Structures are given as C-alpha cells and as structure tokens.
Amino acid sequence: MGGDMDLDMDRKTEHEKEIIASQNLPMAGSGGESEEFDWWLRGYNPKTGRVQTKVNRFSDLPDGSVAIIRNVGAMMKADQWCGPMGSETKERILMSAVGSDNIVGIVWECDSGGGMVAGTESLAGTLEYADKIKPTITFVNGMTCSACYWTASKTRHIMMGGKTSEVGSIGTMISWWDMQGYYEEQGYKLHTIRASKSTDKNEDFYQAQKGNYEPIIKETLDPINEEFHASVKASRPGIDKDCFSGKVYFTAKALENGLADSEGTLQDAIDFVLAEAENKTGSNSSNDNETEMSTEKKSLKQSVADAVASALGADDMASKVTALEGERDSAQASLATAEKERDDAQTAKTKAEGDLATAKTRISELEAEVTRLGGLTNTNKDRVQNKNTETENEEDQSGINAQIKAMRQEQGIED
C-alpha cells in the first residue's frame, strides 16, 4: 500500500474489459430496481448453473443468485479515465448487491497488488458491513496483497485460486521519482515558497528529498501502518505475527500461517456462498417453525381448557372456583402464620445467642478473678506459716530459759 501507487503493483490484467464505469448506484434499502450499469457485471445464475457475464443490473439475475464483484489492478480512490475503477464506485456496487433481494451472497474476486491508502479503509468497512447482511468470500484470482488484502480480511473466508496465487504484503510504503536534478540540468529551477506561518507544510516530503527519511516514516508511514495492522488483526486474529513485515506468500504458506482459509476454484467460492446463505435461511426457518409450534401449543392448551369448562358446566365450574379460592385463602393464611412463627423463632434465637455470649464473657471474668485471688491466698499462707514458726521458736526459747533458770537455782548460782 503506497502514498499514491506502489510501483510493483502496476500490473497488467486480463480483466480490463470488464471494468465497470458506473455512477450513482442505489444504496442498500433504497428500494426499487438496481441501476443499469454501463458495462457488464458478473453473477452466478442458479437456474443455468453458470456464471452469467452479460448482466446490466443485479435485478436481471434470478432469485438465489450470487454477485461476483471484481477488484482488479491498482486500487485508486476515484475512477480513472483510462484506468481502474475507483474504490468509491466499488463500494456503491457492493451496497447495491446487498440491497438486491435476489442476491444471496457476494464473491469478492481479487487480482490486485494493492494501491492507494485513500479509499481503502472505507472500502474494507463496506465489505465488513456487507458480510453481516449476506455471506461474502474473497476469491484470490492471482494476487491479493497490501490494500487489497486489507479489504479481503473483512470477508468471512479467503480462498486461494491455485497454488501460485499470492497474498500478504501487509505493510505501508511510499515511492516517487525525484526528477529535480534532471530538470535542473535542462535549465529549469524549482522554487518552493511557504507562508511565514506554514513552516511545517510538506516538511516531511522536503526532508525526504534531502535524504532524511525519518520524518516521513515516523509521522506518515508508521501511523498508517499501525491502523492497517490493527484492522487486519481484528478480523483475522490467527495470522502469524511474522506476516506483518510486508512479505508475500504463495498458497501453501498462506494456508499455513493463517492468511487464507482454503484453496479452490471460482465455482468452489460460489458454492461456499450458497452454502452459507442456505445455513442462514435454514436457521431463520427453524426459528420461525419454533415460534409457530409455540403458538400451536398455547392454542391447544386453551382449547383443552375451554373443553373442560364446557363439560363441567357453568354452575359446577363456579362452585369449584369458589372452593378453590377458599383453599387458596386458607393456604395463604397458614403461610402467613408459619412465616410469623419463623420470624419469632429467629428473634428468640438471636437473643439467646446474645445472652450466651454475655454469659461466656462473665465466666471468663470470674475465672480470671479466681486465679488472681488464688495467688493472694498462697502468699497469705506463706506469711501465716512464717508467723507460726516464729511463735514456736519463741516458745522453745522461753522453755530453754526456764530450764536454765531452774538449773541455776538448784546449783545455788545467782543470776
């Protein structure tokens, strides 16, 4: 993908004669027949089982047809007078196919090496929208690279049209011929004058002309490249990370690294779209059938109820209804009583749990007090024992003194 046109994308194509120079195509939901085109469209005709090439408008095809829209050559935003059809016109053709009730799906047939950045993101977004409404598939009829791969990544399936088909080149570049030196040799001199407050106008371009590529890489190419990569990764998260360097791959490697999903022919691509469309239709029909069955069941239940009422008779039914209402009221009263008893029990339980917790706390406090008093008691016992011992010693000393005094008296010894 390049700033104007990547030089290696300027390839000849066999499909030049089928370029559609159409304008003002109707958008989806606009109603009425699709616009007649100046050149032939292509579409798969289910009645003949063949690809019909001479189609002026999508409404010329029968119901159940597949639109085949080609994206060939260098991709430009606007139609070229003597070149490829622009991305803007391709968007209108895509939306016309989406809005045509007889078209069940789209084959996005590609043979392009890429092209301009301008218009590519919008075209990719239109394909992404189209795939939400009708099944789309990219058929790689030669090359689907760079900007072309960006668009292809938004379809639900990418089919390689042979082993030598190529995909990839997920990257961004810009190139131009610098012929200033040549013209200066011829006597021409280029003057570039910018307004006093326009000092940055085209500065990255002028720096690149002087050989300083860093500004144009950082300020132009890298931001575009990040958006390109992010968009592709969002649509195809399984792509190998090595594929984002800008390399191109043939079919075998493309299938291996997640750039493509299968290999086949144009008819295989058409068959894929038809199968996807059938699956979608089948899913919708299944939902409709389920809705109808549900309605039938409800109707049957009502019929049974009506039949029972008729068999019982109006009076008998009224008495039974009255009895049932009485049973209902009684049951509701019992339920209310049970709920009150439950609530009272819960309140009592909560109070009991609170009282128990208070009692446990008091017990702990008393046990602590007992322990403290026990310590004091032991200390007092020790004191009493010591006092008794002192008393006994005093008594023993008194007895000894008395004995000594008696012995002195017996001996006639004076004190």
Q: pLDDT per residue over 182-208, tens digit each? A: 999 999 999 999 999 999 999 999 999
Give the CB-side neighbour count of residue 146, counting CA atoms within 13 A: 26
Mean pLDDT of 275-291: 68
Cα separation, 262 vs 255, in Å, equals 7
Question: Is residue 316 situated within a structural domain?
Answer: no
Say what the pLDDT of residue 37 is: 52
Report pLDDT for 10. Answer: 36
Q: Indicate whether 7 pLDDT > 80.
A: no
Residue 267 forms part of a structural domain: yes
65-72/41-45 β-pairing:
antiparallel
Is 336 within the bounds of a domain? no
Residue 359 has pLDDT above 90, yes or no: no
In a domain, 102, yes or no: yes
Is 173 a domain residue?
Answer: yes
Q: What is the mean pLDDT of residues 291-301?
A: 52
The verdict on residue 231 lying in a domain is: yes
- How many distinct structural domains can be found in the chain? 1
Mean pLDDT of the chain: 80
Nearest CA to 280 among 169, 388, 135, 406?
Answer: 135
pLDDT of residue 137: 98
- Of the segments 237-251, 269-283, 385-399, which one has the largest average pLDDT value? 237-251
What percentage of the chain carries pLDDT values higher than 90? 53
Query: Which pLDDT score, from 0 to 100, does residue 351 have?
Result: 85
Lookup: tokens for 260: 């493509």
pLDDT of the residue at 103: 96
Q: So what's the pLDDT on residue 405?
A: 66
Nearest CA among 103, 90, 102 for reference residue 135 = 103
Which residues on adjacent β-strands are paired with residue 160?
140, 263
Question: Amino acid identity, residue 188?
Answer: Y
Angle at 308 between CA 306 and CA 314, to 5 degrees: 85
Structure tokens at 295: 């309605």
Q: By the 8 A CB rule, do 130 and 152 touch?
A: no
Residues 6+ apart with CB under 8 A from 398: none
How far apart CA 167 and CA 155 sit, in angstroms, is 14
Are residues 119 and 76 in contact, defined by beta-carbon separation less than 8 angstroms? Answer: yes
Taking residues 310-320, report their average pLDDT: 56
pLDDT above 50: residue 29: no
Look at residue 264 in the predicted model and tell me its pLDDT: 97
Has residue 370 been placed in a domain? no
Q: Which of 11-20, 48-57, 187-196, 306-315 has the lowest mean pLDDT?
A: 11-20
Distance CA 140, CA 236 (A): 16
As a whole number, mean pLDDT of residues 45-53 equals 91
Q: Please state the φ and ψ torsions of residue 303, each to the nearest 5 degrees.
A: -65, -40
Q: What is the 3-state secondary structure (H, E, C) of the chain?
A: CECCCCHHHCCCCCCHHHCCCCCCCCCCCCCCCCCCCCCCEEEEECCCCEEEEEECCHHHCCCCEEEEEEEECCECCCCCCCCCCCHHHHHHHHHHHHCCCCEEEEEEEEEECCEECCCHHHHHHHHHHHHHHCCEEEEEEEEEECHHHHHHCCCCCEEECCCCCEEECCCCCCCCCCCHHHHHHCCCCCCCCCCCCCCCCCHHHHHHHCCCCHHHHHHHHHHHHHHHHHHHHHHCCCCCHHHHHCCEEEHHHHHHCCCCCEECCHHHHHHHHHHHHHHHHHHHHHHHHHHHHHHHHHHHHHHHHHHHHHHHCHHHHHHHHHHHHHHHHHHHHHHHHHHHHHHHHHHHHHHHHHHHHHHHHHHHHHHHHHHHHHHHHHHHHHHHHHHHHHHHHHHHHHHHHHHHHHHHHHHCCCC
CATH number for the domain that contains residue 159: 3.90.226.10
Residue 93's φ and ψ, nearest 5 degrees, are -65, -40
Q: What is the pLDDT of residue 302?
A: 61
396 against 231, higher pLDDT? 231
| Domain range enclosing 273 | 7-177+223-281
* Position 55 in a domain: yes
- How many residues are recorded in the chain? 415
Which residue from 77, 81, 101, 104 is spatially nearest to 90, judged by alpha carbons? Answer: 77
